[in-house]
Structures are given as C-alpha cells and as structure tokens.
Amino acid sequence: MTGSDARGAAADRAVRKFVFDFFLREGSAPVLEEIALGLGIGRQEAVRALGRLDTAHHLKLLPGSTRILMAFPFSAIPTPFRVTRPNEKRYFANCAWDAVAFHTMLGEPIWIHGFCRHCARPLRFSIVDGRPQSPDGPLPVLWFGLPAASWWHDIVRTCSETMVFFASAEHLAAWRTAGDPGGAELTVDQTLRISEPIYRRKLRLEYERPPPELLQMEFASAGLTGPFWNLTPRSRAAEGVPERARRHP
C-alpha cells in the first residue's frame, strides 16, 4: 500500500464512521459540507472518500450526486420499513433485511413497523435479545426476490422492490399465485442470522465488509443453500461481471 493509499483508507474509515454516527444521532444523512466540516477535511477529499465508499458498497449515493441515499441499514428517505429504539429515536431502513439488521447493529431491543407487500396490512413486531416477538400473532416472513449474486447490480431496486415483508407465509403464497413465483422466503430468525457478519460491527471505526466466503457460510448455517444463495457462481466470470462486484456481496 502506498502512502496515498493509506491516507485514502484512513479517510474512508473516518468518513464512513462519521456518516453512520450522524445517521444514528440525527436519523438522517449528513450532507457533504457537514462531513468536511465535522472531520476538518477539504470538500474534494470528502467527495473522493464518498465515491470510494459507494464503490466499496458501504453506502449508496444518489446517482449523479454526492448526496447519501443509503448507508446500510439507514435510509435517507422514507420507506415502508420503520425501526424504533428504546430511546424512541426512529429510522427508516432500506429494506426488510435492513430493518431486522438494526437489531444486530445496535445490540438493543427494537420495534419494526412495516407493511405486507400483498395486502398492505400494517405489520409490527419487536426483536429483543435476538428473539423476534409479535403482539399480533404470527411473525411476518421476508421475501428476497433476486438471487444473491445479483443484489448489487441495482441495489436501489433490490432493496426497494425485492427484500420485503409479508404478513405470513400464506400472504406470500397468495401473492406468488397472482404473479411472480420466484424468489426465496425467509423467517425473521434466518434474517437475524445472516445479518451477523455484515451488521454486527457496523458502528465501529475499523469495520470492514465481510468476504463473500464468510457470508456464504452464514447463509449455509441458516439453511440458505443452492444456486439462489450462491454469491460467486462460476458462470458470472463468463458473464463479464467486474471483479469488484464479485468481491462485495
């Protein structure tokens, strides 16, 4: 690593940490000027760090801008996935998975409010000490519509349209009968399990995204196996998928 690479990596860590701390405190994303002022760095340095963090899948910028749209699990805009902490701070999550992952990241009880994708019924449940509980009967299920290897092809669509809640397996089945039969069904417990390697250390300065091999093992331990869950299928190299995309599930 060269001196400038090392400085870039240190700047990326500082900017990433600043963005996540800001989201946690304010419930919204910092703007570029707040990042530069907060860290005592120049505007261009902040721009370059945000660009690298976007490329490395730590966050997603609004295309064509330096505005932060997503810093997983935080969303800068309203979504159907709402998370409330014991201190009553509230956040929007990017997708159903991110909503559940707030518990993993924070290590404290959370409430999740969402909607059934099939019938728009409001859903609510809590997660306390790794245990999901619903006051309204059965827990919701999650539906992932796209194979794992393609999640990052268009992460905004993936989060917004293909990682969602259903009131129950029956609601998901009814919705599938009416339309797209594909995708995978997950329990909240399985979702908590696969959140571990990605979200547990999110708020630490030294956080790094887990290698796909580790995530793949976590999928398998949650019972999620087969081509749908394969993060690095051999055929992808033949498809010309860039190395960067393959390295960051």
The footprint of Zn ion (CB under 5 A) covers: 116, 118-119, 121, 167, 171
**SS3 (DSSP) at 81:** coil
The residue (of 17 and 121) whose beta carbon lies closer to Zn ion is 121
Cα(162)–Cα(220) distance, rounded to whole angstroms?
21
**How deeply is 149 buried, as exposed, middle or buried, from its count of CB atoms within 10 A (0-12, 13-18, 19+)?**
buried
The residue (of 130 and 138) whose beta carbon lies closer to Zn ion is 138
The residue (of 11 and 141) whose beta carbon lies closer to Zn ion is 141
Q: Are 61 and 24 in contact (CB under 8 A)?
A: no
Bridge partners, residue 125, by sequence? 112
The residue (of 167 and 231) whose beta carbon lies closer to Zn ion is 167
- Minimum Å distance from CB 93 to Zn ion? 19
- Minimum Å distance from CB 184 to Zn ion? 18
The residue (of 9 and 119) whose beta carbon lies closer to Zn ion is 119
The DSSP symbol for 153 reads G
- Minimum Å distance from CB 145 to Zn ion? 16
- Minimum Å distance from CB 176 to Zn ion? 12
The pair of structure tokens assigned to 149 is 């290897």
- Minimum Å distance from CB 170 to Zn ion? 8
Do strands 141-144 and 122-128 pair parallel, antiparallel, or not at all (unpaired)?
A: unpaired
Q: What strands, in cross-sheet order, belong to the sheet with 82-84? A: 90-92, 82-84, 110-115, 122-128, 131-133
Cite the beta strand spans of the chain per DSSP E. Answer: 60-61, 68-71, 74-75, 82-84, 90-92, 110-115, 122-128, 131-133, 141-144, 163-166, 184-186
Cite the beta strand spans of 19-65 per DSSP E. Answer: 60-61
- Minimum Å distance from CB 144 to Zn ion? 17
The residue (of 64 and 179) whose beta carbon lies closer to Zn ion is 179
